């Protein structure tokens, strides 16, 4: 069928033609934005889920919602090797400068800038040339203790008070939150605790791999009180069918029921895979409606494309030892698996596996869904590992 009119959009963060099955979570965000603007308490959101379930797409959608509710927004993506402070400073600076341009009485915006300068002085890292232009001195002692758990709450307070003074509200959206260190996460949590205590108009929305199991003690209990942790998962069959069928019909074409069912069987409803199968099935069908046979003949091609693009990039970043660990997990099935079972299957003592587990977690390949358990962050990665390394050897 005509490739130019193909409605599907496989790719990280690409908006799908039909955002299926996410009404509940979007409504939750809508209520959150409305309530915080009205100075009513509401839990912020940390969306967690595996790769390719649509977290980034939701985050982008929520940024749009926030903007249409009149929020000032900041959207950033965390990285393995970039600190939270370095990530946020340029955006907070821009935000404060924008607020400075809104007419209004008071000096909270200038104070916000002074506190941001103090914060920059405290973090002692090079953040490049953050040119301020304004003749404002850093407010000594405001946010420069060097302890992020103290400084970040003070900085957020100053920013939110500046926004409040100009009748604005702020939404900070952060993708890939699992890359933050536990001290950065707990600083964020403490900062949001302060927002809630003072009923300041600042909302945090995060997305990433599950982080709660990694938090400990006080941070964990605060986090549970301050945030909702909606689990973003694969789509149930009716939503998966809608995600495929509606865009095809909107383009004036059709797909048969058993074709939809087969795609669901193969993808298990994971959004990224739905887009990929939909895209290829459309391209390779000779005529509408797309049939079961069309799906079956494209499956090999889709698998190959996923192996080359989605899976292979991750595989290529692994050391031989890491590959062996993941191949062992794959041998055990889809997971999650007990770390002791993994060690037994590898034929080694569990204590020797700490380092390889830590490096796989750091690379975002595995996470711990509960104490003593490991799971892969990429859906269907076990099937890929068995294709990539057909013979299991311990």
Minimum distance from residue 370 beta carbon to ligand ADP (Å): 21
CA dihedral 349, 351, 355, 358 (to 10 degrees): 110
Residue closest to ligand ADP when measured from CB atoms: 54
Partner residues linked to 74 by β-bridges: 172
Site size for ligand ADP (CB under 6 A): 24
Q: Return the half-sphere exposure (C-beta side, CA atoms, 13 A cut-off) of residue 172.
A: 24
The answer to whether 200 touches 165, Cβ cutoff 8 Å, is no
Using alpha carbons, list the distances in angstroms from residue 25 to 21, 22, 45.
9, 6, 10
Q: Token digits for 192? A: 């949001």
- C-alpha Rg value of the chain to the nearest Å: 24
**Residue 245 binds ligand ADP, judged by CB under 6 A:** no
List phi, psi (to 5°) of 228: -90, 145
Helices (H) and strands (E) in the chain, counts: 16, 8
Interacting partner of 315 out of ligand ADP, Mg ion, none (Cβ under 5 to 8 A depending on kind): none
Q: Which is nearer to ligand ADP, 24 or 347 (CB)?
A: 24
Instruction: Dig out the tokens for 340 from the structure.
Output: 């002791």
Kindly tell me which of 6 and 56 has the beta carbon lying closer to Mg ion.
Answer: 56
- Nearer to ligand ADP among residue 153 and residue 271 (C-beta): 271
Query: Phi, psi at residue 376, to the nearest 5°?
Result: -85, 145
Among 172, 185, 187, 274, binds ligand ADP (CB under 6 A): 274
Q: Which does 10 bind (CB under 5 to 8 A by kind): Mg ion, ligand ADP, none?
A: ligand ADP
Residue with tokens 């982080």, as numbered in its chain: 211
Residue 243 near ligand ADP by CB under 6 A: yes
According to DSSP, the residues that pair with 169 across neighbouring strands are 71
Q: Which is nearer to Mg ion, 12 or 38 (CB)?
A: 12
Nearer Cβ to ligand ADP (186/275) = 275
| 272 binding partner (options ligand ADP, Mg ion, none; Cβ < 5 to 8 Å by kind) | ligand ADP
Q: Which of residues 328-387 bind ligand ADP (CB under 6 A)?
A: none
Strand partners, 203: 171
Supply φ then ψ for residue 35, to 5 degrees: -70, -40
Using CB atoms within 10 A of its CB, is residue 250 exposed (0-12), middle (13-18) or buried (19+)?
exposed
Nearer to Mg ion, 56 or 291 (CB): 56
- The correct pick among 45, 53, 281, 302 for binding ligand ADP (CB under 6 A) is 53
Site of interaction with Mg ion (CB under 5 A): 56
- Which one of 186, 219, 275, 298 is in contact with ligand ADP (CB under 6 A)? 275
Should residue 10 be labelled a site residue for ligand ADP when binding is judged by CB under 6 A? Answer: yes
Q: Which two tokens stand for residue 353?
A: 């596996």
Would you say 21 or 112 has its CB closer to ligand ADP?
Answer: 21
Quote the least distance from Cβ 3 to ligand ADP, whole Å: 17
Question: According to the binding rule CB under 6 A, does residue 7 interact with ligand ADP?
Answer: no
Q: Could you list the residues that contact ligand ADP (CB under 6 A)? A: 9-14, 16, 19-22, 49, 51-57, 243, 271-272, 274-275
């Amino acid at each position: 069928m005509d490739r130019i009119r193909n409605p599907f959009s496989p790719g990280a963060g690409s908006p799908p033609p039909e955002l299926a099955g996410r009404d509940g979570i979007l409504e939750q965000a809508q209520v959150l934005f409305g309530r915080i603007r009205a100075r009513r308490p509401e839990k912020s959101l940390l969306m967690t889920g595996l790769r390719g379930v649509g977290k980034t797409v939701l985050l982008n959608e929520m940024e749009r919602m926030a903007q249409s509710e009149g929020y000032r927004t900041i959207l950033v993506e965390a990285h393995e090797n970039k600190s939270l402070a370095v990530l946020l400073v340029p955006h907070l600076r821009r935000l404060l400068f924008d607020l400075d341009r809104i007419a209004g009485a008071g000096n909270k915006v200038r104070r916000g800038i002074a506190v941001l300068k103090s914060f920059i002085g405290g973090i002692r890292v090079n953040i490049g040339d953050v040119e301020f232009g304004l003749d404002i001195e850093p407010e000594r002692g405001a946010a420069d203790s060097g302890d992020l758990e103290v400084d970040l709450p003070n900085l957020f307070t100053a920013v939110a008070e500046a926004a409040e003074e100009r009748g604005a509200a702020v939404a900070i959206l952060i993708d890939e939150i699992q890359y933050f260190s536990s001290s950065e996460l707990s600083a964020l949590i403490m900062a949001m605790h302060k927002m809630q205590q003072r009923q300041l108009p600042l909302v945090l929305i995060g997305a990433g791999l599950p982080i709660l199991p990694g938090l400990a003690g006080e941070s964990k209990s605060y986090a549970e009180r301050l945030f909702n942790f909606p689990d973003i998962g694969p789509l149930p069959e009716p939503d998966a069918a809608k995600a495929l069928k509606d865009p095809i019909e909107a383009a004036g074409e059709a797909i048969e029921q058993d074709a939809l069912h087969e795609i669901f069987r193969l993808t298990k409803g994971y959004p990224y895979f739905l887009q990929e199968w939909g895209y290829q099935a459309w391209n390779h069908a000779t005529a509408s409606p797309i049939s079961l046979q069309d799906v079956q003949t494209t499956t090999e091609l889709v698998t190959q494309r996923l192996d080359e693009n989605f899976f292979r990039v991750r595989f290529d970043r692994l050391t031989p030892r890491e590959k062996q660990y993941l191949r062992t997990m794959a041998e055990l099935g889809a997971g999650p698996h007990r770390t002791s079972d993994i060690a037994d299957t590898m034929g080694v003592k569990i204590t020797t596996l700490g380092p390889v587990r830590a490096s796989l977690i750091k690379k975002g390949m595995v996470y711990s869904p509960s104490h003593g358990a490991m799971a892969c962050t990429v859906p269907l990665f076990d099937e890929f590992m068995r294709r990539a390394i057909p013979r299991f050897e311990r």
